[in-house]
Chains A and B, each alone.
Chain A
């Protein structure tokens, strides 16, 4: 029997993130690189550690190899613990047969035994898809104060975007009165962030009941939460007012990266009291050559910049040769951008090569029809040969031949 924990976290990291296209061809969405050195999952994992939650189950299913390898024994997040720590929980075989995780609720249901080992009072259910810094311990204190069965973190979003989210209607005490899932005409702008705290004894029973219901899709948002609500459980919304972004699409991933360069955006990664941990690459400091110009950008360790860099994020060990231009773009680890190449409004994944005088992406002002414009994406390991062009909005996962 493991030592009792007051609160443990279960991190849903099995999603494919299909709207990220070729970026998630071989890796799960939470493993997608972000912000010059991180991966998306670093945010919820670091939030857990910084909030004092030291037992985290990570539920993986889609392309788990890279994610499992990345998390390892949890050491970069200080989650290599004798008691608790990080555990990778993949679907497994049982006597009655083997079963994939059918839905988010089923994923937790299949791991009830894992949670019971720690005999927690509370369980935080988190998503591995979001960029945000949040103190879960404050939310837990709120959950206890309200004596709630379930507390859902909510964020006030702009009204015009509200219809993309799961919304909550609350009373003056922030008690949830009604849910709306992506409604056409939203009556609330309070969106769910996909961060839940449950009183475990309650949730455990609802999960068992949900599993027994053959009509259920075994999903938190569709089934378990409405069931709890219909049964009259005390459900509260916890207002969060910091930076939060779902990086589910190419555009939002691109934006969320470049948000780091905007001083007005409330996402400070240099705060020593709330560090975001990650597996740090073994590389020397990056080098900016006499021929380089660097403006409003972020550069990771081991990179070498001889060319021009403007409003861009370079991960570690990226080379930008003399005469190459990178602007409004994200370039992931190990990629080489050769002399005379131009990369603009693009995401270039790991270990790609953009050869001499190739052009990736286009500036929106150069487009005749803005509907054809979008961020260009070059997949991992792809070579864009000399002089070739990658059109805006294109997604390239095979080499592009010489023009």
Chain B
């Protein structure tokens, strides 16, 4: 064991169904985000920036794009001789239950990996959470409170996710009660599903649940132990978002057009790493107009772009108009076409003189590689 004594575990497929349009071909972890990232980059970079040196990425299905993105873990400095990044697919070892349906089964499937690790602590994380977290602070909070389990949480409107944990915190941030996806519209404290505990405790809890034939991590392990264990909520205040739907994905992306949000998420002291594509810097042609937009490398813009996010290698021809839209890697918008409130997946081509227009609460989605 080297590093900071925490083992990272990332669920790459959790909540895939919330973004079924984008995850049709990929995992939640490999969903493209803000011009050049994939959602898993945030969990991985947070871990690496705090000194975590061993990360297991649990996959269930559709994980080719994820493996392609992660490679050997080099961009996150996780391509190591000792420790580093491990991809943990189903059917990968003896005692593994095959494909997973819930978190307990997922953890059971990787118990061997967890047992063979030497780290004292485990940090579990989902991929649909976008934040820049100082895990050292989380660890200090955990130790200070003599906590058994620390749950990273946020105050706000509860995301619409299955089994999302709403936490009742007392004045000392101790979790007194956990409600699972309660029907509430007000602002509450809810879990961002980044959970820190001792590795030995996780092993014991999972083994117990398996022997009792329990299925739900949230209900049986977390809710069921609220009284027995010291569970604490670690509140984050900066830019932190849980993505629960395509509309929400759109909204969270657009929030990053505010430089203050962008500066919090992409804190240069704790950079977010991603796979490199070796594009040239973006080129703006004569007569182009770009306002309030995030533009990634490799873009060639000759037309008009406003309130939009352009991923790497997007081309907007002269006479094309792109407003309030997200265009993923390698998309192309030809002259005379207009996009408004549109999300285009990778390599979409919009041929001349087409108009696509959605609404703020219902963006049009164009699937990967579609030619319109």
Contact = CB atoms under 8 A, between A and B. Distances in A.
Given A37-B280, A301-B297, A75 B74 contact: yes
Given A75-B74, A284-B262, A285-B35, A270 B280 contact: yes
Contacts of B272: 282, 284
Nearest to A315: B281
Contacts of B282: 286, 298-299
A294 interface: yes
A269 B262 CA distance: 28
Interface in A114-170: none
B271 A287 contact: no
A280 B75 CA distance: 11
Given A36-B281, A37-B281, A75-B74, A282 B297 contact: no
Nearest to A316: B281
Interface in B269-321: 271-273, 276-298, 300, 309-311, 313
Nearest to B311: A285
Contact of B286 (A270, A282, A283, A295): A295
A278 interface: yes
A299 B295 contact: yes
B271 A285 contact: no
A261 B302 CA distance: 12
Interface in B227-278: 257, 259, 262, 265-266, 268, 271-273, 276-278
B295 A286 contact: yes
A270 B300 contact: yes
Given A37-B281, A275-B278, A285-B34, A301 B296 contact: yes
Contacts of B286: 295-296
Contacts of B279: 270
Main SS at interface, chain B: loop
Looking at chain A's contact residues, is the secondary structure mostly helix, strand, loop, or mixed?
A: loop
Contacts of A316: 281
A35 interface: yes
Contacts of B297: 37, 285, 300-301
Given A285-B295, A290-B291, A276 B280 contact: yes
Q: How large is the interface on B (under 10, 10 to 19, 20 to 34, 35 or more residues)?
A: 35 or more
A27 B111 CA distance: 51
B347 to A, nearest CB: 12
Contact of A298 (B37, B74, B283): B283
A292 B266 CA distance: 21
Contacts of B292: 288-290
B290 A294 contact: yes
A258 to B, nearest CB: 12
A102 B2 CA distance: 46
A383 interface: no
A269 B280 contact: yes
A294 B284 contact: yes
Interface string A240-272: 000000000000000000001100000001100
B154 interface: no
11 contacts: A76-B278, A260-B280, A276-B278, A284-B34, A284-B266, A285-B34, A285-B297, A288-B290, A289-B292, A298-B280, A299-B295
Given A260-B280, A299-B281, A301-B281, 5 more contacts: A270-B313, A280-B278, A285-B297, A286-B282, A302-B266
Interface of B: 34-37, 74, 257, 259, 262, 265-266, 268, 271-273, 276-298, 300, 309-311, 313
Interface of A: 35-37, 75-76, 260-261, 269-270, 275-278, 280, 282-290, 292-302, 304, 309, 313-316
